Amino acid sequence: MPPVVYQEKCRGCGKCEEVCPGDLMELNEDKKAFCRSRRDCWDCMACVKACQYDALETRIPYQLGYYPARLIPKMKEKEIEWTCIDINGKVDKFLVKTYNK
Amino acid sequence: MPRASLPNAVNEIEEVRIDTDILIIGAGNAGCFAAIEAKRQNPDLRVTLMEKAHIDRSGCLAGGMDAINTYIKKDRTIEDFVRWSRAQAGGLLREDLTISMAEVLNKPIEEWEEWGMPIKYEEDGEEYKTRGKWDITISGSEMKVILAEKTREYGCEVINRVVATNYLMDGEKVIGAIGFGVRDGKMYIIRAKATIIATGGAAGLYKPYQNDGNDSHHQLWYAPFNVGTGFALGIRQGAEMTTFEMRWCATRTKDFNGPIDTISVGYKTPMINCKGEQILKTHYAHLGGDAAPRFIRANAPMDEWREGRGPCYVDTTHMTPEQIYDMKYDYLNERPSYVLFLASRAQDLQKDPIEIYGSDPYIVGGHTASGYWVDVKRSTTLPGLYACGDVAGGTPNKFVGGCAAEGLLSAKAAVEYVAATELGSINEEQIAQEKERVYAPGFRQLVVGDGVTPREMEERLQRLMDEYAGGVHQFFRMNKEGLQYALRHLKIMKDQVKYLIASDLHELMEAHEIIDRLDVAEVLIHHLMYREETRWPGWQTRADFPEKNDQKFDCFVNSRYNPATGEVEMFTRPYEQIIPGDRLKA
Ligand SMILES: Cc1cc2nc3c(=O)[nH]c(=O)nc-3n(C[C@H](O)[C@H](O)[C@H](O)COP(=O)(O)OP(=O)(O)OC[C@H]3O[C@@H](n4cnc5c(N)ncnc54)[C@H](O)[C@@H]3O)c2cc1C
Ligand code: SF4
Ligand code: SF4
């Protein structure tokens, strides 16, 4: 499940490249991120969480799930605010605790 | 980070040589706890971690976890734990190892909480909230980041993006490891007084059913970047391995291939077939029903399919909206994209239950008992080498807490060993040979420009294993002739390794992933052939030997690859019961 890169939002900070456990995220010559192999992504969402500019979004491969579902994490100091939008536009929000101190 | 290109010739390969006291290969869960413990035991020691990815988000914990499956609560004993784990594993585990792990099991979990990881409590009290008999619920989305931070804080040295390729040997002794930088292209030669292997288990030996050719190749339950390198490193040097035939084939959410305990254990939803029958209570009551051992529960939905009663589900239709919300919250902590998957189907779980199916088989010593044969100190049969976590054998049902606990045990033993050990002497011939071996696919690409890509070979292996060695498409069943066929073709592939090509460092890593998988698959097939019985249906189903044969096989099946002859030698080791009682009952 490959992350989609919103080109206009990517600032080329390299955070996604730093953390990807599969060595899949890279920066091109224009300093924009890309996923070198869509099929090899584990959709762990580490890159999406690491991107401070909302430039990355995980997609479900169409072979498995329909378009256009979205799941967007907003990282906060001790929690993540998740917004999930299903293919019919139904929105769910979750505040997930990440640190206990 | 700019990426280096592949070296053009052997003499262009840059070397990095490091001497350290303790080298830990794999900065995952077990590896980080081992590193921290080594520093605690002796802060003067230099402790170095070699990590293929980046410590912050590597291995099984990359996406987080929502539960720790093994924690011993106040009113429970170590004996209870061994009895439970033993029964789950069909009566076969190393009791000595399980006891020593259980003795320190709670420590890393409590430390994690101290360091910032949220754990849920019972509403009325001081105790952690339990999810099954031994599981506790956590909010573990960032647990790996927290652990990485602590590892650095303790003064451990972390070398990220270096892929281990072989142990550094001084005769029979392991004296460190060799690897290459997947970003900088350099060869790392790290010499250590003691080495701990903590590279996790093996994914990608078998073809997953979601493999649609393009976007879902890595739609796996287990971390797809753990490819069994730790097993392969040991196999190549003749380390004794155990119980590879006890594969981890699990019930997972259909299509997504994700964890299922979150729903079935966390929210007590029963498994049902297409007729709405609760399958464990009806068709599998004689095997223990809801309390059946893990492999029966894992295999039941696949048997239902085979009997014409699929698809199967976990029945979420009786869950309340609050429970459904909580369940999604849990998934966001572990496999967040599963929540996205449900949204991509606009699935209303009160109307539409969650479908389940078998996963592709994995070799994972933290769930089943496959891996290095170790003693209670977690010392392997190779002097100077310790093993912990999913790569170490004999102790099923370790999971997060148990792997971390083994990290503590292996570090303690390694620190003791280091006190009486000097650095070994490097065999320059080994280094020269390893350079040729490691960079060969790059050189072939440069010189010949034609050959076999790692992806092609990976897909060939996965198809072979799936069809002839009991993959999910064969409902996990196999027979002698099929296994012999698989072995024949594996040997051809091992010979074809010389044709592998790589056009950049990432592909070079992929080339070594398939090379390592071939070594693991070969040993696995020997184990599957040797156990001429069916002990764990699903995990190990021999269609030609459908019954259990206690007379011959109530023991461990072990192997040793003989580096001199290239043969895999098979033998057994006796079961040693320490905790009395019926081994099949908890
Ligand atoms: C999706 C999922 C859900 C799970 N859910 C639960 C749960 O709810 N509860 C529970 O208790 N357990 C659960 N588990 C199991 C548990 O997470 C693992 O058993 C445990 O964390 C494994 O620890 P480890 O240290 O052995 O492996 P890992 O943490 O995976 O560490 C292995 C490390 O080795 C590195 N490595 C691999 N190859 C090389 C190489 N060649 N060179 C250098 N480094 C290398 C990897 O990058 C990684 O950092 C789950 C596992 C998965 C995958
Ligand atoms: S989701 Fe995970 S595996 Fe996929 S590109 Fe991002 S960090 Fe890498
Ligand atoms: S983390 Fe975001 S902004 Fe930074 S390089 Fe990656 S996609 Fe671009």
pLDDT tens figures, B349-358: 999 999 999 9
Task: Indicate if A46 and A82 belong to the same structural domain.
Answer: no
Burial level of B550, CB count in 10 A (0-12/13-18/19+)?
exposed
Q: Is the pLDDT of residue B290 over 90?
A: no
Read off the pLDDT band of B572 (50, 70, 90).
Answer: very high
Among candidate residues B320, B335, B55, B116, the one with its CA nearest the CA of residue A82: B335
pLDDT at B54: 98
Residues 6+ positions from B183 with CB-CB distance below 8 Å: A23, B1, B3, B4, B161, B505
Q: Are A33 and A25 in contact (CB under 8 A)?
A: yes
The first and second tokens of residue B230, run together, are: 């730790």
Nearest to A94 among B329, B335, B346 (CB): B329
Strand extents, DSSP E, B201-301: 240-242, 251-253, 271-272
pLDDT digits (tens, 9 = 90+) for B256-270: 988 888 788 778 899
- In chain A, DSSP finds a helix count (H) and a strand count (E) of 2, 7
Q: Which of A57, A74, A89 is the last residue of a domain?
A: A57
Read off the pLDDT band of B481 (50, 70, 90).
Answer: very high
Ligand 1 interacting residues, C-beta cut-off 6 A: B 25-31, 50-53, 58-61, 65-69, 163-164, 179, 198-200, 221-223, 225-226, 229, 259, 261, 334-335, 366, 389-390, 399-400, 403
- The CA distance from B365 to B368, in Å, is 5
pLDDT digits (tens, 9 = 90+) for B396-406: 999 999 999 99
Least confident of A51-55, B1-5, B222-226, B227-231: B1-5
Among candidate residues B46, B23, B52, the one with its CA nearest the CA of residue B190: B23
Overall average pLDDT of the B226-245 stretch: 98
Q: Are B355 and B253 in contact (CB under 8 A)?
A: yes
pLDDT at A1: 64
Question: Is the confidence metric ipTM above 0.90 for this complex?
Answer: yes
CB contact under 8 A, B215 and A44: no
- The CA distance from B66 to B514, in Å, is 31
Rg over alpha carbons for chain B, rounded to the nearest Å, is 23
pLDDT at B352: 96
Q: Is the pLDDT of residue B475 over 90?
A: yes
pLDDT digits (tens, 9 = 90+) for B309-345: 999 999 999 999 999 999 999 999 999 999 999 999 9
Task: Give the strand order in the sheet containing B240-242.
Answer: B371-372, B240-242, B555-561, B568-574
Task: Indicate if A76 and A96 belong to the same structural domain.
Answer: yes
Read off the pLDDT band of B53 (50, 70, 90).
Answer: very high
| Any A CB within 8 A of B54 CB | yes
Q: Is the dihedral of CA A83, A88, A89, A91 positive or negative?
A: negative
Q: Please tell me the number of Cα atoms within 13 Å of B271 on its side-chain side.
A: 36
Task: Indicate if A8 and A50 belong to the same structural domain.
Answer: yes
- Find the length of chain B: 586
pLDDT at B1: 62
Measured by CA distance, the residue closest to atom 1 of ligand 3 is A51
Q: Which of A24, A42, A57 is the last residue of a domain?
A: A57
Which candidate in B110, B121, B139, B215 is best for mutational testing of the A interface (most A CBs within 10 A)?
Answer: B215
The Cα-based distances of A16 to A10, A51, B3 in angstroms read 10, 6, 15
- The CA distance from B61 to B473, in Å, is 28
Task: Indicate if A82 and A97 belong to the same structural domain.
Answer: yes
Task: Indicate if A26 and A75 belong to the same structural domain.
Answer: no
Read off the pLDDT band of B132 (50, 70, 90).
Answer: confident
Among candidate residues B129, B111, B389, B449, the one with its CA nearest the CA of residue B265: B129
Overall average pLDDT of the A37-60 stretch: 95
Domain that holds residue A72: 60-101
Percent of chain B with pLDDT over 70: 99
Distance from CA of A35 to the nearest CA of B (A): 12
Q: Greater confidence, B214 or B48?
A: B48
Q: What is the pTM of this model?
A: 0.98
Q: Which of B46, B161, B247, B294 is catalytic?
A: B294
Residues 6+ positions from B230 with CB-CB distance below 8 Å: B25, B26, B197, B198, B199, B200, B387, B391
In 10 A of CB B473, how many CB atoms? Answer: 15
- A12 to chain B: closest CA residue: B1
pLDDT at B123: 83
Overall average pLDDT of the B18-23 stretch: 98
Task: Indicate if A52 and A3 belong to the same structural domain.
Answer: yes
pLDDT at B262: 79
Task: Indicate if A37 and A19 belong to the same structural domain.
Answer: yes
In 10 A of CB B16, how many CB atoms? Answer: 15
In 10 A of CB B265, how many CB atoms? Answer: 18
pLDDT at B493: 98
CB contact under 8 A, B63 and A42: yes
pLDDT digits (tens, 9 = 90+) for B94-110: 999 999 999 999 999 99
Q: Is the CB of A12 under 6 A from ligand 3?
A: yes
Give B498-530 as a DSSP string.
GGB--SSHHHHHHHHHHHHHHHHHHHHHHHHHH
Q: Tell me which H or E stretch contains B435.
A: helix B428-447
In total, how many domains does chain A have? Answer: 2
Q: Which residues of B82-120 are buried (b: 16+ CB within 10 A; e: fewer)?
A: bbbbbbbbbbbbbbebbbbbbebbbebbebbbebbbbbb
pLDDT at B261: 80
CB contact under 8 A, B256 and A99: no
pLDDT digits (tens, 9 = 90+) for B367-409: 999 999 999 999 999 999 999 999 999 999 999 999 999 999 9
Distance from CA of A79 to the nearest CA of B (A): 9
Q: Is the pLDDT of residue B209 over 90?
A: no
What CATH number corresponds to the domain at position A44?
Answer: 3.30.70.20
* Coil/strand/helix, residue B302: helix
Task: Indicate if A24 and A39 belong to the same structural domain.
Answer: yes
Task: Indicate if A4 and A49 belong to the same structural domain.
Answer: yes
Distance from CA of A59 to the nearest CA of B (A): 8
- The CA distance from B401 to B64, in Å, is 14
The first and second tokens of residue B160, run together, are: 């990220």
Task: Indicate if A36 and A67 belong to the same structural domain.
Answer: no
| A64 chain-B contacts, CB cut-off 8 A | 210, 216, 219, 255-256, 341, 344
In chain B, the domains with their CATH numbers are: 11-66+83-115+143-247+365-419 (3.50.50.60), 251-358 (3.90.700.10), 439-550 (1.20.58.100)
CB contact under 8 A, A21 and B256: no
Q: Is the CB of A24 under 6 A from ligand 3?
A: no
Interface size, chain A vs chain B, as Cβ–Cβ contacts under 8 Å: 167
Amino acid at B506: H
Task: Indicate if A48 and A75 belong to the same structural domain.
Answer: no
Amino acid at B332: L
Q: Is the pLDDT of residue B213 over 90?
A: no
Best residue among B25, B56, B57, B60 to mutate for probing ligand 1's pocket (most ligand atoms within 8 Å of CB) is B60
The Cα-based distances of B519 to A39, B36, B40 in angstroms read 24, 31, 36
- The CA distance from B538 to B246, in Å, is 9
Question: Mean pLDDT of all residues in chain B?
Answer: 96
Task: Indicate if A13 and A26 belong to the same structural domain.
Answer: yes
- The CA distance from A57 to A49, in Å, is 9
The first and second tokens of residue B260, run together, are: 């299922």
Q: Are B97 and B374 in contact (CB under 8 A)?
A: yes
Q: Whose structure tokens read 């392991």?
A: B174
Q: Are B363 and B247 in contact (CB under 8 A)?
A: yes
Concerning whether B294 is annotated as a catalytic residue, the answer is: yes
Q: Is the pLDDT of residue B211 over 80?
A: no
Q: Which of A57, A77, A92 is the last residue of a domain?
A: A57
